[in-house]
Structure 1
Amino acid sequence: MSQVFDTIVLGGGIGGYSAAIRASQLGKTVAIVEQDKLGGTCLHRGCIPSKALLRSAEVYALMKESDRFGIQAEAVRLDYAKISDRKNSIVDQLYQGLQFLMKKNKITVFNGKGRIIGPSIFSPRSGTVSVEQEDGEILNLVPDKLIIATGSRPRTLPGLETDGVTVLNSDEALQLEALPASAIIIGGGVIGVEWASMLSDFGVEVTIVEYAPRLLPSEDEDVSRELEKLLKKRGVTIYTGAKVQTESVVRGAKQVTISIEQRETTQELTAQLALVCVGRQANIEGIGLQNTDVKVENGFIKVNEDMQTAELHIYAVGDCIGGLQLAHAAAHEGIAAAEHGAGLPTHAYAPHQVPRCVYSRPEIASIGYTEREAREQGRQVKTAKLYFQGLGKARVLGETDGFVKVVADEESGDIVGVHMIGAHVTDYIAEAALAQLLNATPWEVGQTIHPHPTLSEILGEAMLAVDGKSISF
């Protein structure tokens, strides 16, 4: 049995369903093939559930410090079962909304394992998707355009494979029924830092082990140093430039012991559990790529700037193509692929114009190049860095940690990077993203009237400070 669609999307995560909705808006007949639940990692195992937990951790930490706001809150108690219920409720509500969006946009959803087949009786070219449905029936879906959006999964370390008990990945950690007393987090990237911040706020004794010389190695060095300082102030133990000796791992019934090597010194770390956060790998096995001319490079599907693979009628978006594995990047790529497939001109994907967010406490938000990257490109740059402790709204909130740093090109005057660490900075990084998209100069952003008192004022002042014109700092 076969059915024909203008656009078929293999994978129903944010990249996939964004592509599907946009294709439908453009008048295409659209189908999504998803073997699990619509929403993918972002909705079920990533962005949404982890941020729900982070919010509870933030509230708990704030309540324990309520005395400095003149509020006596005695016997503050954490109920992790209720926290988990709240997380699950948020996910369920959004999942129901997503299912409604599929019906609203007349998108047909097929639940089952999809596999791409080569030229056959169904189509003279590769790209037909064979779907093994839950009842065992095989259905062949024939597209004019195919968009691969199969996402990614947590990467493992050989010798430190997860068991769901004492060694977990981030997917498994979201299903914990109770908090551990202590945790070793392997990896100081975005996922590792967010879990470290969350668990620390929940009262867990946390240790981070990062192989690179600093936390968040892709962020500006000033931001990394500030984050490390603030996490240590909260009691988090941090080892950077440290290698895990995976052959030394000892798993007990209720604890795990791991040896690490740092600057030629070896030591043992013991905790109730270890959380492995060493990146993500593409879900591209078993989807039939060998039946196509689609190229794979370093474990990810290779695409051009229009999201096309080597077979131009087959596109790929999201985590399965590597690069910035961010939900909003995947959504943008999905929309771009749908529009290009419909014959519309598309805005070329530019990684340096994608905002990056880390939902630790304090938050981190950035866009563009770091100061080091800009200088390595041969640019002469000018910078400014303003601290939140001088901002009225930050004092009112009691959140004065962190700063905003602006990097601008001396010759053109254009903003080439904005890097922020502080309370709620993810809420206004989009202003910096718009400024960079429009090739704005710091002076132009500084002329924008920012309401007072707000946290966003510091962004305008930091822009003015690049040329020594800040008024309030």
Structure 2
Amino acid sequence: MNFDVIILGSGPGGYIASIRSAQLGMKTAVIEKDSLGGVCLNWGCIPTKSILNSAKILQEIKKNKKLFGINQIKVDFSQILYKSRNIVDKMRKRVSFLMKKNGIHVIYGEAKLKKGKKIEIFRDKQKIEECYASHIIIATGGKPKIEKKFKQNQKKIIGYKEALSLSKLPKKMIIIGSGSIGLEFSYFYHSMGTEVILIELFPKLFPSGDEEISDQIKFIFDKIGIKSYVSSFIKKINYTDQGIIVDIKNSKKNITIEAEIVLSAIGTIPNINIGLEEIGIQTKDGFIVVDERYRTNIEGYYAIGDVIKGPSLAHVASNEAISCIENIKELNPQKIDYGNIPKCVYCSPEIASVGYTEKQAKEKGYKIKVGKFPFHSIGKSICDENIEGFVKVIFDEKYDEWLGCHMIGNNVSELISEVVVARKLEATNYEIMGSIHPHPSLSESILESIFHAYGKSIHL
């Protein structure tokens, strides 16, 4: 079959690209080897937010059980996971509806690139079809990064997919890596009643975050009973009938921990075993090399999302998808500002950030003004009984440019967009301080933090 555009993968990059392509009148096909929606919908963004919502509700009940008159709490672990799968199923049907609505041809199978803009499609190792297209977009996403020494026993060393489909709740779990995946699963399993030990190679939890955010999440995890070891790495693993014994090299001492299961949350790597070498598509450090229009070095081939260098985030892939398609149609879309990408972690409290950390701003040579405002001084937070955390803002002292913002607290993933839009519009402290925010609201924390940076704080 011949198409104008074929997209490999139907994740938040692939399915968005296919819809925009069809909207612009191009005959479009998507090739998907598993389920519509990719990792994000099926095993990442969506199901994890479902289980984290269950964990958050459970913790709220535990915190206020005397007030609510609740004496006993029983957790049905399998039902929580079932609810997440049910939500996935509903959203997958929604994506399928959008495919049909926009006349997109969906082919299920594993794609292999061949010369001459040809794609061979396999199912159960049998070739089922050949397709051709003027434009081929690689959006095959990523897969869990698991070190070679962890591959000896896949039932006891698991990734995020297995963590969402365990048959029973483990009594004790070691989680390796404290990025967003590690923090979210640490909070979830701890909330369910699992003893969680978090191992981080770098000196702080959430190493990509602002240092004060890292310190705060460490403090909160310590307080609720999630034990963590930083500046630590796995030296050796041994398997037993009951579980796994892990020897950890720490900056201060050697530690041996026995657990039922280990979750590797050390990140993802591009999923690019699709025949790139057959075409001669260039890669570097495991990523497909593209230009600012997402073109590879071979004409007619493009790449977006986790297979290219950049933040491995669903909303980044979706925006790259639209930009790539509109570039194909010569519509001159806006270039994506990779310095203004919001990043969120959905443990409780949530973490949200955009722009430079304080350390990064100083390393760039900026003279800065920093403001911080705690949620315990915000009326809406007090009413919600969620007072942990703060908002931190960083401004350039010379031009009042908003360099960065970092938040930790209840529902901060809903607050960060205000900062993203303000930075996009190049708003300074003056414009924000002159913008009235509703009272009571969590958004007042952003305004108050800017007042604090410029010595005008009222409520601090």
Q: TM-score, normalised by structure 2?
A: 0.97
Structure 1 regions of 5+ residues with no counterpart? 120-126
Q: What residue in structure 1 maps to residue 51 of structure 2?
A: 53
The more displaced of 304-313 and 267-276 is 304-313
Say whether the 8 Å CA contact 1:306–1:349 is kept in structure 2.
Answer: no
Q: What residue in structure 1 maps to residue 371 of structure 2?
A: 384
- Any idea what SS the aligned residue of 2:98 has? helix
* CA shift in 2, pair 1:371/1:312, >3 Å: farther
2:257 to 230, 255, 269: 269
The CA distance in 1 between the partners of 2:152 and 2:292, in whole Å, is: 36
- Any idea what SS the aligned residue of 1:159 has? helix
2:139 to 149, 163, 174: 149
In the alignment, is residue 199 of structure 1 matched against residue 196 of structure 2? no
In the alignment, is residue 371 of structure 1 matched against residue 352 of structure 2? no
Deviation at 1:445, TM superposition (A): 2.0
The more displaced of 305-314 and 135-144 is 135-144
The CA distance in 2 between the partners of 1:470 and 1:28, in whole Å, is: 55
Q: What residue in structure 2 maps to residue 117 of structure 1?
A: 114
Q: What residue in structure 1 maps to residue 179 of structure 2?
A: 189
The CA distance in 2 between the partners of 1:48 and 1:233, in whole Å, is: 28
Following superposition, which runs of at least 4 residues in structure 1 exceed 6 angstroms of deviation? none
- Any idea what SS the aligned residue of 1:324 has? coil
Tell me the alpha carbon deviations over residues 388-438 of structure 1, each in whole angstroms, 9 at most, x when there is no partner: 010111111111110000011112211010100000000121111101111
Q: What residue in structure 1 maps to residue 37 of structure 2?
A: 39
Read off the aligned partner of 2:62 and give its amino acid letter.
K
Say whether the 8 Å CA contact 2:77–2:192 is kept in structure 1.
Answer: no
Q: What residue in structure 2 maps to residue 251 of structure 1?
A: 239
Deviation at 1:133, TM superposition (A): 4.6
Q: What residue in structure 2 maps to residue 93 of structure 1?
A: 90
Q: What residue in structure 2 maps to residue 440 of structure 1?
A: 427
Tell me the alpha carbon deviations over residues 78-115 of structure 1, each in whole angstroms, 9 at most, x when there is no partner: 01121111111100000111100000111110111111
After TM superposition, list the pairs within 5 Å mapping 1:279-318 onto structure 2: 279-285=267-273, 287-318=274-305
Deviation at 1:322, TM superposition (A): 3.3
Deviation at 1:6, TM superposition (A): 1.2
The CA distance in 2 between the partners of 1:444 and 1:375, in whole Å, is: 24
The CA distance in 2 between the partners of 1:31 and 1:116, in whole Å, is: 15
In the alignment, is residue 455 of structure 1 matched against residue 445 of structure 2? no
Structure 2 regions of 5+ residues with no counterpart? none
The CA distance in 2 between the partners of 1:98 and 1:51, in whole Å, is: 18
The CA distance in 2 between the partners of 1:437 and 1:308, in whole Å, is: 25
Percent identity over the alignment? 36
- Any idea what SS the aligned residue of 2:69 has? coil
Read off the aligned partner of 1:76 and give its amino acid letter.
I
- Any idea what SS the aligned residue of 1:165 has? coil
In the alignment, is residue 15 of structure 1 matched against residue 17 of structure 2? no
Read off the aligned partner of 1:352 and give its amino acid letter.
G
Deviation at 1:138, TM superposition (A): 3.6
Read off the aligned partner of 1:224 and give its amino acid letter.
S
In the alignment, is residue 466 of structure 1 matched against residue 453 of structure 2? yes
Deviation at 1:465, TM superposition (A): 2.2
The CA distance in 2 between the partners of 1:179 and 1:447, in whole Å, is: 51
- Any idea what SS the aligned residue of 2:435 has? coil
Deviation at 1:472, TM superposition (A): 2.9
The CA distance in 1 between the partners of 2:163 and 2:416, in whole Å, is: 29
The more displaced of 136-145 and 384-393 is 136-145
CA RMSD of aligned residues (A): 1.4
The CA distance in 2 between the partners of 1:423 and 1:177, in whole Å, is: 30
The CA distance in 2 between the partners of 1:137 and 1:280, in whole Å, is: 29
Q: What residue in structure 2 maps to residue 343 of structure 1?
A: 330
The CA distance in 1 between the partners of 2:291 and 2:247, in whole Å, is: 43
Q: TM-score, normalised by structure 1?
A: 0.95
Deviation at 1:146, TM superposition (A): 1.1
- Any idea what SS the aligned residue of 1:365 has? strand
In the alignment, is residue 179 of structure 1 matched against residue 177 of structure 2? no
Read off the aligned partner of 2:33 and give its amino acid letter.
Q
